[in-house]
Amino acid sequence: MRFGRINIYEKDFGQIIGQSFSDRHGFAAQGPRRKLMAIARNWLLTTALRPDHAWVYWRDADVETVPATIIEDLMHHDTDVIVPNIWRPLPDWLGNEQPYDLNSWQESEAGLDLADHLDEDAVIVEGYSEYKTWRVHLGYVRDPFGDPEVEMDLDGIGGVSILSKGTVFKSGAMFPAFSYLKHAETEGFGKLCKTMGYRVVGLPHYVIWHIYEPSVQDLQHMKWMAEEKKNRVQKAKNKRMYDKKWTEAFVEVGKDWEVLKFNVFKNTDLRRYIHLDWNDVDGYLKLDEEPENNIFPELDTIEADYSLTEMSQRYKYGYIPPNEIFDSFPINNAANRDKFKFVRFDEPEKESENLDDILIVDNKLNSNKNEAQRKEQEREEKEQIQKETLDELEESRREVEAEVQKVEDEHNEEMQKVKEKEMTPEQLEEELETLQDMYEQKKKEREERKLIEEAERLSKLAEKKKRKKLLKQKAIQAEKELRRKMAIEKEMIRRQQMFELEEV
């Protein structure tokens, strides 16, 4: 872009407000700051505007991205006063982008009512919670994919980028350095132009980008983020160092434990369990606290060494040690857990019940056998089942082979009969096709029959296994019941003997 003349003007208006983002945009500083900026704009306007100037373009120095053709883009609308939409980029932790200039707006009923209730010298500024005007802002109407030529009538405008016809200022319009309709500077300029009958518009979809100026809170957050990043780096460095020290000082035994755990549990039958019910079992063994009433004082000493004489004396007075009803088993063997059941000894439901009626348990289900014998029994049962299955499969195979041979013999006989007959080639071909269809039909029927027989065989085998398992469960249950009743009977005998001893 080429300019006919470039003039630079400088003047100090005695501004005492700081130039940081928080100072310039604080609510308390807005009124005095706007009025001072209006004085600076009016001085610059009267100093620089010449009679031959047709347009006046105002733009802030802190604009980051502007189209190269912005003056032509705004000028071809041929409007008295026009402004673009102003946005600013933000860091990703603040949302990436944001409307910047909220001074371009359309008037609302709430804004007019607010202006009527403020002091005469008050200045309404947008973007602050102190003044709730509920106006339509140009920045929030933006559509990133909208038509940049769309115009929107405005009542107040911002000063980042303004293009105005020279006749507007030559006819007396200026930037109010006082409260004009409760507004000053560029917003007051928009109100004044509307009062003078000029058209004021904005382009909601035509955007230029203002620079990002971090506030005091943003700077504090950036400082915190930098410290967090530094801490993360240091933490990662420490972790690498500790991991290295850990690897050098300790040995990883996870894989060794997996092998050891497998070896520990491979010989342990976790399906078996032991259930202890101590309710009312040892109540009859409770002895009096007074020593003189205790007929067996030696029982208070855990390591008492009973001699044969003392044991005979106890037998004489009716002391009968409880018999082992489970024979000799290693109680600490986890594989024999469910062979040691502690049950409550109650009275039999029917005294006339005959224990001989209980099922005689097969020797191979006897729980008194050790784990090796049980495994041997299971292995023999599996071998027997496998042998029976192989025999059945072999028998089925022989039947299928016999059936196939029979069909082939029938087919050969039919072919021989055809050869012996004197037929024309057409009749011979027709007969051969018929025989071939018959052969295919019989083959299909044979395969279907084979599948049916195989399904029936598997069903019978499953039923057989199910019956065997059921019988085994019934036998085990019967054995448990038998042992329970035997234990009850022995306990009743022992209690009776103890009762007789007490009577003596």
pTM tops 0.75, yes or no: no
Question: Is 226 found in the same domain as 202?
Answer: no
Q: Please tell me the predicted confidence (pLDDT) of residue 24.
A: 59
pLDDT in tens, the chain (504 residues): 678 889 999 998 887 665 555 555 566 667 788 889 999 999 999 999 999 999 999 999 999 999 999 999 999 999 999 999 999 999 988 888 999 999 999 999 999 999 999 988 889 988 777 888 999 999 999 999 999 999 999 999 999 999 999 999 999 999 999 999 999 999 999 999 999 999 999 999 999 999 998 888 888 999 999 999 999 999 999 999 998 888 888 888 888 888 888 887 777 766 666 666 676 655 555 544 444 454 445 455 544 444 555 555 554 444 444 444 444 444 444 555 554 444 444 444 444 444 444 444 444 444 444 567 777 877 887 788 778 778 877 887 788 788 778 877 877 777 776 666 555 667 777 777 887 888 888 888 888 888 888 888 888 888 888 888 888 888 888 888 888 888 888 888 887 877 777 665
Q: What is the pLDDT of residue 26?
A: 64
DSSP summary character for residue 291: G
pLDDT at 405: 82
Any idea what the CATH number is for the domain that residue 97 is in? 3.90.550.10
Burial class (CB in 10 A: 0-12, 13-18, 19+), 192: buried
In whole angstroms, give the CA distance from residue 384 to residue 492: 44
Nearest to 45 by CA among 185, 200, 203, 209: 185
The 10 Å Cβ neighbour count of residue 135 is: 21
* pLDDT value for 346: 44
**CA geometry: angle at 87 spanning 84 and 89, to 5°?**
150
Q: Are residue 224 and residue 208 in the same domain, yes or no?
A: no
Residue 32 counted as domain residue: yes
Specify if 53 maps to a domain: yes
- Verify that 220 and 185 share a domain, yes or no: no
Q: Is residue 439 part of a domain?
A: yes
Domain span at residue 428?
Answer: 341-503
- Geometric angle at alpha carbon 33, from 65 and 123, rounded to 5°: 105
Helix 371-420, helix 425-503: angle, nearest 10: 160
Q: What is the pLDDT of residue 494?
A: 81
How many domains is the chain partitioned into structurally?
3
**What confidence score (pLDDT) does residue 356 get?**
44
Which of 186, 213, 240 corresponds to the end of one domain?
Answer: 213
Residue type, 443: K
In whole angstroms, what is the distance from residue 273 CA to residue 503 CA?
41
Instruction: Report if residue 417 sits inside a domain.
Output: yes
CA neighbours closer than 13 Å in the CB half-sphere of residue 217:
4
Residues 90 and 238 in one domain: no
Asked if 207 and 346 sit in the same domain, the reply is no
| Pick from 196, 259, 187: nearest CA to 34 | 187
Residue 370: predicted pLDDT: 58
Indicate the residue type of 498: M
Domain shared by 398 and 451, yes or no: yes
Q: What is the pLDDT of residue 332?
A: 46
- Is residue 429 in a domain? yes
Q: 280-319 burial, b if ≥16 CB within 10 A, otherwise e? A: eeeeeeeeeeeeeeeeeeeeeeeeeeeeeeeeeebeeebe
Check if the beta carbon of residue 201 is closer than 8 Å to that of residue 78.
Answer: no
Same domain (yes/no): 28, 124: yes
Cα–Cα distance measured from residue 80 to residue 200, given in angstroms and rounded to the nearest whole number: 6
Residue 397 domain-assigned (yes or no): yes
Note whether residue 246 is domain-resident: yes
Does residue 309 sit within a domain? no
Quickly count helices (H) and strands (E) in the chain: 11, 9
Q: Verify that 236 and 368 share a domain, yes or no.
A: no
